[in-house]
Amino acid sequence: MSVKFSTGCWRTGCTSKRRNVSSTYAPRHSWVTSLLRGRYGWIPLRPFSWTPEADRAFRDLKERFTSAPILTQPDPARQFVVEVDASDVGVGAVLSQRSSEDGKLHPCAFLSRRLSPAETNYDVGNRELLAVVVALGEWCHWLEGAEQPFVVWT
């Protein structure tokens, strides 16, 4: 069975595979994906308008993918710091470690995802907790094997 994807749908899918290199992927990507909702699959096509907000989000995504911060290789001997945050549209997290050279936190990985329709009803505390659960599930292979306990910042 062959499936046809439009260029817009394919590009949106490609950017979602790279969401681990941008710390604020979900809020910016939601503008773009909201334009495509209902345009593919079994739902009939509907017209959409390219708003200034969507254009800014799209340009910002392009900029972030071409100038993302340099990720450091995780070191299980050093302590991990998991920073999480939640918004009205998504949750995000950064896995960091302090550098032995400058003592500053450097990112090892980023994570973000859009909230489901049910999750948008969560209060702020539960969204933050959801971000912790998602981050710990994603990075458990690094955190469980670490020599030092990790820290979670919300």
Band (139; pLDDT cuts 50, 70, 90): very high
pLDDT at 20: 47
DSSP 20: G
- Do 91 and 129 contact (CB within 8 A), yes or no? no
118 has pLDDT over 90: yes
Fold of the 80-153 domain: Ubiquitin-like (UB roll) (3.10.20)
Q: Point out which residues pair with 83 in neighbouring strands.
A: 94, 153
- Do 74 and 95 contact (CB within 8 A), yes or no? yes
pLDDT at 50: 76
Say how far apart CA 139 and CA 97 lie, in whole Å: 13
Say how far apart CA 109 and CA 84 lie, in whole Å: 12
| Segment (H or E) for 106 | strand 105-114
pLDDT at 29: 56
Say how far apart CA 98 and CA 95 lie, in whole Å: 11
Say how far apart CA 92 and CA 149 lie, in whole Å: 21
